[in-house]
């Protein structure tokens, strides 16, 4: 537990560009702490493919213990395609931590920051400001490590539970209510495949029951295939979307693409007690070690962490610090910074320096 405005943060840099985007994010938190009257204690811990290569484990027990004790977890990204378990799957402590701490609500905002180019025609005029909520502890991922493979076939089983779906929908409706209070549409779309699968019909039924308790939020239902087309054709019509783990994994990368790329998309994995904050992207082995990684998603994830800490501990200055970071990020894009991610010449160091100066 934190004392007053002091927070202990578990820092898991991970692999590839994970540590490269984590370093500037911590620098920004260091700068903001004095200004906001907050105090952070960062404890770094190993996790990921590098650690597996050295020890045969995705992360040590001490990392899990640290995450248990800390007020929040910051994660860069983990995994490398070249490092695999004997069954040919990858090292993914970020997914194990979601299961371990029951972080069922994966919150993935996609906001088009003015000045950032979107591939969608008209987006600069109409704007994009939506949130995908990806259930993060079950769905098809419940099968992780448990799939059955024989010589002739492979099977993975999806799991949808009433308990998790109920908490997920309550979380999503409450978020839509809060966004409505701040001037957004106040709508929530359940994205599923209820026309084909019983598990999704069950998911939608629980959504419908929950919707009755939130009359102020417009509840929509969409099939994931049609939803994908709508997201590309008119993303400005969406407010909050809630979906199963695998669908959310895919749709949130799509929505990141709508707002400039994976380096622009932050995320939070939230449970009833713990929360982990990390960019939507992975370890980007194609650009690691080159100073090209866009740290914006990681920086915006720290703002999400501050917001969550503010809410959980009733520390208003942490919410103000979150807003300060978001405004600084908006300012650097309005001023014309252009990451290499979308064709510009600004690398990690330029972007970090600009945000620090704008704080
Ligand atoms: N949360 C996580 O830790 C996480 C999430 C996804 C993938 N992964 C792992 O990451 C590895 C690479 O996966 P992938 O290539 O499918 O996805 P990725 O997100 O790492 O990269 C996809 C593409 O986006 C680019 N990109 C991603 N983040 C960027 C940033 N901040 N700035 C500029 N460009 C960026 C990459 O260069 C690449 O071309 C795999 O080992 C995968 O398992 C980890």
Average per-residue pLDDT in the chain?
Answer: 96
**Does 281 sit in the ligand 1 pocket, CB within 6 Å?**
yes
Is 113 part of any domain? Answer: no
| Closest ligand 1 atom, residue 21 Cα | 31
Is 284 part of any domain? Answer: yes
Rounded to 5°, the CA angle 178-261-280 comes to 60
Give the model's pLDDT for residue 4: 73
Look at ligand 1, atom 8, and give the residue with the nearest C-alpha. Answer: 282
Question: Tokens for 91?
Answer: 């090292």
Does the pTM exceed 0.75? Answer: yes
Instruction: Clarify whether residues 241 and 271 are in a common domain.
Output: no
Element (H, E) at 276: strand 275-279
Look at ligand 1, atom 37, and give the residue with the nearest C-alpha. Answer: 284
Domain boundary (198, 231, 259) is at 259
Is 28 part of any domain? Answer: yes
**Does 64 sit in the ligand 1 pocket, CB within 6 Å?**
no
Is 108 part of any domain? Answer: no
Contact yes or no for 169/242 (Cβ under 8 A): yes
Please tell me the total count of domains within the chain: 2
Is 123 part of any domain? Answer: yes
Is 189 part of any domain? Answer: yes
Mean pLDDT of 321-341: 97
Instruction: Clarify whether residues 220 and 174 are in a common domain.
Output: yes
Instruction: Clarify whether residues 136 and 222 are in a common domain.
Output: yes
Q: Is 122 left (phi over 0), alpha (psi -120 to 50) or beta?
A: left
Give the model's pLDDT for residue 82: 97
Percent of the chain with pLDDT over 90: 98
Ligand 1 mean position to 282 CA, how many Å?
Answer: 3
Domain boundary (217, 240, 259) is at 259
Instruction: Clarify whether residues 166 and 198 are in a common domain.
Output: yes
Q: Which CATH number do you get for residue 128? A: 3.40.718.10
* pLDDT above 80 for 1: no
Is 247 part of any domain? Answer: yes
Instruction: Clarify whether residues 134 and 251 are in a common domain.
Output: yes
Instruction: Clarify whether residues 51 and 153 are in a common domain.
Output: no
Give the model's pLDDT for residue 255: 98
Ligand 1 mean position to 78 CA, how many Å?
Answer: 9
Give the model's pLDDT for residue 28: 97
Contact yes or no for 180/216 (Cβ under 8 A): yes
pLDDT digits (tens, 9 = 90+) for 31-58: 999 889 999 999 999 999 999 999 999 9
* pLDDT above 70 for 2: no
Instruction: Clarify whether residues 19 and 78 are in a common domain.
Output: yes
Give the separation between CA 261 and CA 308, rounded to whole angstroms.
24
Give the model's pLDDT for residue 3: 54
Mean pLDDT of 221-243: 98
Look at ligand 1, atom 4, and give the residue with the nearest C-alpha. Answer: 282
Instruction: Clarify whether residues 219 and 283 are in a common domain.
Output: no
Is 21 part of any domain? Answer: yes
Element (H, E) at 104: none
Range of the domain at 125: 118-259
Domain boundary (259, 291, 307) is at 259
């Amino acid at each position: 537990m934190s004392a007053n405005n002091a927070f202990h943060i578990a820092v898991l840099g991970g692999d590839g560009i994970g540590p490269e985007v984590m370093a500037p994010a911590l620098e920004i938190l260091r700068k903001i702490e004095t200004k906001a009257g907050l105090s952070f204690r960062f404890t770094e811990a190993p996790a990921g493919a590098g650690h597996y290569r050295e020890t045969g484990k995705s992360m040590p027990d001490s990392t899990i213990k640290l995450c248990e004790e800390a007020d929040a977890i910051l994660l860069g990204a983990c995994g490398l395609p070249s490092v695999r378990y004997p069954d040919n799957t990858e090292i993914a402590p970020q997914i194990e931590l979601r299961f371990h701490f029951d972080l069922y609500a994966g919150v993935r905002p996609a906001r088009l920051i003015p000045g950032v180019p979107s591939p969608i025609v008209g987006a600069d005029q109409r704007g994009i400001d939506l949130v995908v909520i990806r259930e993060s502890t079950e769905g098809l991922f419940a099968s992780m490590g448990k799939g059955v493979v024989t010589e002739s076939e492979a099977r993975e089983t999806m799991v949808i539970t009433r308990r998790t779906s109920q908490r997920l929908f309550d979380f999503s409706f409450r978020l839509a209510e809060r966004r409505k209070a701040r001037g957004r549409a106040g709508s929530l779309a359940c994205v599923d495949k209820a026309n084909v699968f019983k598990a999704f019909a069950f998911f939608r039924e629980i959504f419908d029951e929950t919707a009755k308790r939130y009359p102020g939020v417009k509840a929509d239902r969409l099939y994931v295939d049609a939803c994908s087309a709508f997201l590309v054709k008119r993303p400005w019509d969406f407010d909050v979307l809630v979906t199963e783990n695998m669908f959310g994994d895919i749709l949130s990368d799509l929505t990141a693409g709508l707002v400039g790329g994976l380096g622009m998309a932050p995320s939070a994995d939230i449970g009833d007690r713990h929360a982990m904050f990390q960019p939507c992207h992975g370890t980007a082995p194609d650009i690691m070690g080159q100073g090209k990684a866009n740290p914006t998603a990681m920086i915006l994830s720290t703002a999400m962490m501050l917001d969550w800490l503010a809410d959980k501990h009733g520390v208003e200055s942490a919410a103000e610090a979150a807003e300060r970071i978001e405004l600084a990020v908006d300012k650097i894009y309005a001023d014309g910074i252009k990451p290499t991610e979308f064709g510009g010449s600004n690398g990690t160091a330029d972007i970090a320096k600009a945000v620090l100066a704008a704080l």
